[in-house]
Structure formats: structure tokens, C-alpha cells
Amino acid sequence: MSDRQFMWQLVKFEFTCTPFKQWLLRLFTVVVMAALFEGMLFILVNEASGGYGAVVLDVVLLSAVFYYPQWLRLPSFRVADLKSGLYAAPFYVYATRLPIPQYVLRRSRFVLSFVYTVGATVMAVALAYVYPGTVRSLFTLGEFGVFLTVWGLVSVALSGLIAAGEVGGVYTTKEIYGYSTVFLLVILAALLCLKWLTGDIFIALTVELSKSAPLMGVAGTLALAAVLNGIWYLEAKRYARKVDYHV
């Protein structure tokens, strides 16, 4: 079996051991995310998002895209505090003891995170368009195709961070809160800076680019996804060299 085939077997394993009720939960989550997209765009259309406080809409929506799909995974495949402050995915730690090339294992985690995050986001946005409401009224079919692609690429940009986290590391509770706070502040600062530079919050900008500058919107989010996933992958390799699973 080639390394590529081995990687896909690891990906397949998580899906095949998922019970039916978990698949139902995933479908329900997609419906919730679709309602969230519909609600965010409804607020934008009604011009209730003019000030800097509207950045809260971005934070809510990006948080949903980032976190919601990961909650759909079984506990064995999610990052948890295993022992003595070792935060990692139980399956990843177990798999490191098997004769599996590390890069094959890492790549399978990135593929899985990609499938969950991008799959949930794309299905949610598509479902929001199917429902005869705000989303459908905003776009022609072609414009919506661009909007769907842009948000698919946004979810690609976010998905690698979860995969890197599965490799794990040892942290104190204070460090966890500290890193989380810094990460949130950086994201918030970036969104506020975007609002200051463009006059639009992020979700409004993706709508505008999808309608008036589709190539720029797709190219920009594609570049963002490529750069961030490159960073996440390098971080995963660094974590793998550094972490001691026998804490």
C-alpha cells in the first residue's frame, strides 16, 4: 500500500466508526449554520451593521465556521486534556505508537479537518441559498457561486489550525487562557483594521467582492488559505518534534 493510500485509509477509519446518530447531529449542525448565514446577511441588508460594533457579526460567523464542524467529531478525534496538561487528540497520540510515517499521519489530520470544516460550511451556505430568503435575493446564481467559493476557501484557511492542534503540546491552564486571549485579540484587531481600511466588515466585503470583483475575491481568499495552511503545517511539524506524549 502506498503512502497516499495509507493516508486515505486513516481518513476513512474516522468516518466508518462514526455512529448514525452522529451523522444526524452533523446534518442538524449544517441547518443551524445555514440559519446563521441567513441571519447575518439579513442584518446586513437591513443596514444594521454600519459601525465598528458590527465586527461582532464577523466574530460570530467565523467562530461558527471554525468551531462548529469540530464539535461533530467523536471525542477520540478531538483535542482534549489527556494528562498533566497534555492537550492532543487521543487518536493521534495512539497512532504515533504504530508503524505509521509521521507525515502520512499529519496529512490525514489535515485532510479530515478540511473535509469537516469545508463540507459543513459549503453545505450550510448552499442550504441558505436554497431557502427563499435574504441570501437568494442578494445574488444571481453566478454571484452566489463565487460567494460559495469564497466562503469555502475561508473555511480552508481555518481548517488547518485544528489539524495542527491535534498533534498536541503541554500547557498550563494559564497558558491556554493566555494563548486563546491573544489569538482572539489578533483576530479582532485584524477585523477592525479591515473595517477601517475598507469601510466594510468581513462578511459584507465577501458579498461585495462576489458581486463586483469575483476574481479578486477568489484570488484573495485562495492566497489566504494557501499561506495559513502552510503556516499550520509547519507548526504541526514543529509540535511533533517538540511534544512528549509520555508526560
Grid cell at residue 13? 477509519
Binned at pLDDT 50, 70 and 90, residue 17 comes out as confident
Alpha-carbon dihedral of residues 155, 70, 108, 163, nearest 10 degrees? 70
Please tell me the predicted confidence (pLDDT) of residue 61.
86
Grid cell at residue 62? 467565523
Distance (Å, whole) CA 239 – CA 41: 38
Give the residues across from 86 on adjacent strands: 83, 170
Distance (Å, whole) CA 5 – CA 28: 31
Binned at pLDDT 50, 70 and 90, residue 246 comes out as low
The fraction of the chain above a pLDDT of 70, given in percent, is 96
Is 222:153 a contact under the CB 8 Å cutoff? Answer: yes
Binned at pLDDT 50, 70 and 90, residue 197 comes out as confident
In a 10 Å sphere around its CB, with 0-12 CB exposed, 13-18 middle and 19+ buried, how is residue 235 labelled? middle
Summarize pLDDT for 51-107 with one digit per residue, the tens. 777 788 888 888 888 877 777 788 888 888 888 788 888 999 888 888 888 889 999
Higher pLDDT pick, 102 / 28: 102
Residue 70's Cβ-side half-sphere holds a number of Cα atoms within 13 Å equal to 22
Binned at pLDDT 50, 70 and 90, residue 50 comes out as low
Mean pLDDT of the region 30-59:
77
- Quote the pTM value: 0.87
Determine how β-strand 86-88 pairs with β-strand 169-170. antiparallel
Is 209:217 a contact under the CB 8 Å cutoff? Answer: yes
Summarize pLDDT for 219-241 with one digit per residue, the tens. 999 999 999 999 999 988 888 88
For the chain, what is the mean pLDDT? 85
Please tell me the predicted confidence (pLDDT) of residue 136.
84
Alpha carbon separation from 241 to 96, 194, 200, 237, 245 (Å, rounded): 12, 36, 41, 6, 11
Mean pLDDT of the region 5-27:
82
Summarize pLDDT for 158-194 with one digit per residue, the tens. 888 888 888 888 888 788 888 888 888 888 899 899 8
Helices (H), 131-213: 134-138, 141-167, 173-198, 202-212
